[in-house]
Every structure is written in C-alpha cells, then in structure tokens.
Amino acid sequence: MLRTGCLLLLGGLLGCLGCQRVVVYIPQTQEVRGVVSYKDGRPLTGGVVEFRYLRDPSIRAVGKIEPDGSFTLETLAGDQRVSGIPPGRYHVSIAPPPEMGQTHSPYVFPSVEIAPNQKEIRLEFEGFPVNSDEAPK
C-alpha cells in the first residue's frame, strides 16, 4: 500500500513538471505606438515588427503592422503577455508582409532606444533585403 502511494505521488510530481509556468521578470512597461515607412514616406502595409531587449533577449515586444504602417507593441516573456514595452535599448527587426512570400529577409535595426515615457516611435527603412536563394543568377 505504501509502495503504491509513493508511486502515485511520484507519477503526479513527474506529470506536473510539464505543467510548470515559465515566469520571467518583465520590467515596467509603457504604451508605445509606432509607424513603419519606407525612406520615401510610403507606409509599410503589413508584416510584423519585433523589439528584442538587449539586456535580456528572452524579453521581446511585437506588433502587427497595419495597412497604414502603424503598430502597437506588446511585450512577451516566457508565457506572459503584457501591453507596452519597457524602456531600454533594443535590436529591432521588421518581417516582410506575407504577400512578399519567402523572397525577402527581415530588415534589421541593430540598436533602437525606447526612452522612459516615450509614447511614439517612427521606423524608416530602405526596403527588405532579397533572399540570396531567391535572387536571379
């Protein structure tokens, strides 16, 4: 009886190992909205923008780019989802809209600063790099 109880307890504990929540400390966030446009002023009409926190790359903020080029950021860490983004320095990438298929790679900004109390950000870029696999030979 004792042996069966121990086996049930051990089985229950092992089963719960896969159920654990991953909790990552997220610094205080602030609401930030933005716009992505080409250097000539045309808005990017789709895609996703991702901000990866340089101090802790497990923390990232993402935003879906709307047809007018606008986006709102939401921070993701572990299994947590929080509105806004913590102030700090970020590695930023813009994924092309789905209609570009696999022909273009994301555009990368190596370092972008989100200042405390900053409410808006404007990202201007030249265009997406063409994937070398898709480039004409």
CATH of the domain at 68: 2.60.40
Query: What digits encode the pLDDT tens for the residues 2-13?
Result: 444 444 444 554
CA distance 18 to 14: 8
Q: By residue range, what is the domain housing residue 57?
A: 33-125
Res. 126: pLDDT tops 70: yes
Do 96 and 81 meet the contact criterion of CB atoms below 8 Å apart? no
Total length of the chain: 137
11 in a domain, yes or no? no
9 in a domain, yes or no? no
Query: What digits encode the pLDDT tens for the residues 79-95?
Result: 889 999 999 999 999 99
Q: For position 7, what pLDDT does the model report?
A: 40
Tell me phi and psi for residue 67, to 5 degrees.
-55, -25
80 in a domain, yes or no? yes
46 in a domain, yes or no? yes
7 in a domain, yes or no? no
Is the entire prediction scored with pTM above 0.85?
A: no
130 in a domain, yes or no? no
Mean pLDDT over 7-32 rounds to 64
Q: For position 105, what pLDDT does the model report?
A: 92
Percent of the chain with pLDDT over 90: 66
Percent of the chain with pLDDT over 70: 79
Query: What digits encode the pLDDT tens for the residues 41-60?
Result: 999 999 999 999 999 999 99
73 in a domain, yes or no? yes
DSSP at 1: -
Number of domains in the chain: 1
13 in a domain, yes or no? no
What's the whole-number average pLDDT of the chain? 85
Q: For position 13, what pLDDT does the model report?
A: 47
Res. 135: pLDDT tops 80: no
Residue 18: which pLDDT band, with cuts at 50, 70 and 90?
Answer: low
Three-state SS for 99?
A: helix
